[in-house]
Amino acid sequence: MDFKIVERSFFARIARMVLKSGNVAMVLGKQIHLSGVDRETFLRDEGWVAHELCHIRQFQEHGYVRFLWLYLRESMRVGYYNNKYEVEAREAGKKHVRHLAEAKKAAGSVNPSGLPLPADSKKKV
Ligand SMILES: [Zn+2]
């Protein structure tokens, strides 16, 4: 899949401050914006990568502005955790790490942030 990683992203940094989170990956179109986590660490976490790649696919499927709107509307209707775009991305992440060890599975969980944007944070384990 065609994507670009933006390290020390301004947007992800804002999200991180709002969320008071140690690390954030945020998808905007085909770009994965990172803050508090570097490219290597992020890419090593296959479950997290699969989760964010799913958001990139969602952007492509619905169109940039339309997806932001759909994501926001869905979040307002059912909350962030039950947002169907997050559910789908979580499934994609889990599917990807299903072959790995049980401990790694638990570490593969990504928490949707609660921001009205596809921003996700990863608890340090
Ligand atoms: Zn997500």
For the whole model, what pTM was predicted? Answer: 0.83
Centroid of ligand 1 to alpha carbon of 112 (angstroms): 5
Centroid of ligand 1 to alpha carbon of 12 (angstroms): 13
Residue pLDDT, tens place only, 61-102: 999 999 999 999 999 999 988 999 999 999 999 988 886 755
Q: Tokens representing 85?
A: 């775009």
Centroid of ligand 1 to alpha carbon of 56 (angstroms): 10
Domain residue extents for the chain: 4-119
Higher pLDDT, 6 or 121: 6
- C-alpha torsion 7→42→40→16, nearest 10: 30
Span 45-66, average pLDDT? 96
Q: Helix or strand or coil: residue 111?
A: strand
CA–CA distance, 43 with 122 (Å, rounded to integer): 13
* 1: number of Cβ within 10 Å: 8
